[in-house]
Amino acid sequence: MQERDVPFLETKHLSWKTNGVTIIKDISVRIEQESIVAIIGPSGAGKSSFLRLLNRLSEPTAGQVCFQGRDYRELSPRTLRQRLGMVMQLPHLFPGTVTYNLRFGPRQFGKELSSADIQKLLAEVGLKDYANRDVSSLSVGEAQRVSLARTLANSPHGLLLDEPTSALDEDTEREVEALICRIIAEERLTCLIVTHDTAQARRMADHAIRIVDGAKADFGPIEEVLDAK
């Protein structure tokens, strides 16, 4: 494990421009180990774009991202993405069974999950008997749970969650939210979650970054950021 004073993730003057438009403007934040940070802001502010820069699905046009104390460009993108798991707004499961989906990540690194590993992961997300189910037969809520389990199968050090409950109905949203909170706590994961729902941010996170028009408008403990309006 790394030393406590090294932040889990740090962005320094991070910017991203695409098609001539600057989407992310000079964001510098320091995410501590095991913290849960909500990324909030109005629709179209650049919250998801910021998250994508953190696991390098998009390439920063200026600035730096340090992951566990190192510039993330020193790591191969595959290693970075394995360590910093991402759950997207929609599950985007691969055609096939739930087991195929859970085995996909570890297989990329030459590791084959055993049936016991699969069962453990599925139990963790409340889908005990789903191993052989075809993903086309799952509800959106179940698919999002499988997506979370698929990310956890890579044993990440941290999680990036891009509005993971926004496509779910209210009851399922609260269930998946509670599930995510439990897993983060049990696994002691550092987590960044994009949400447009301030109530959800308050329930889940201990810190928040408010992004407005691509720039950091506020960053600090959750109550301070949410009450600062």
Partner 1 sequence: MLSRIFTTPRALGAAQAAIAAASAILLILLARTRKIRLIKETLVALLRGCLQVVAVGSVVLLLLEQPMWTAIIVLMTMIGAATTIGARRSKDIPGAFWVTLQGIALGAGSFIVVMTLIGVIEWEMSSLVPVGSMLIANAMNTVALSLDRFGSDVKAHVGEIEAALALGAEPKETVRPYVQAATEAGLIPRLNSLRSLGIVWIPGLMAGMILAGDDPVYAAIYQFVVIAMIFAASGLTTIVSMLLVRSRIFSPAMQLLLRSREGEQE
Q: Is 200 in the site for partner 1 (CB under 8 A)?
A: no
Contacts of 182 (CB under 8 A, 6+ apart): none
- Kindly state whether residue 108 participates in binding partner 1, applying the rule CB under 8 A: yes
Nearer to partner 1, 108 or 224 (CB): 108
- Rounded to whole angstroms, the Cα distance separating 113 from 186 reads 21
CA distances from 76 to 56, 73, 200, 210, 211 (A): 10, 7, 33, 29, 28
The verdict on 141 binding partner 1 (CB under 8 A) reads: no
Cα–Cα distance between 225 and 72 in angstroms, integer? 28
Strands 9-18 and 62-67: antiparallel
Q: Does 9 help bind partner 1 (rule: CB under 8 A)? A: no
63 phi and psi angles, rounded to 5 deg: 90, -170
Closer residue to partner 1 (CB): 46 or 141: 46
Identify which of 107, 102, 81 has the alpha carbon closest to the alpha carbon of residue 160.
81
The stretch near partner 1 (CB under 8 A) out of 1-9, 29-37, 39-47, 175-183 is 39-47
Binding segment for partner 1 among 2-10, 89-97, 113-121, 176-184 (CB under 8 A)? 89-97
Among 57, 131, 181, 217, binds partner 1 (CB under 8 A): 57
Instruction: Name the minimum Å distance from CB 73 to partner 1.
Output: 8
Residue 94 interacting with partner 1 (CB under 8 A): yes
Count of beta carbons in the 10 Å neighbourhood of residue 2: 11
Q: Are 143 and 134 in contact (CB under 8 A)?
A: no
Residues that bind partner 1 (CB under 8 A): 18-19, 23, 43-49, 52, 55-59, 77-79, 81-82, 85-86, 88, 90-94, 104-105, 108-109, 147, 150-151, 154
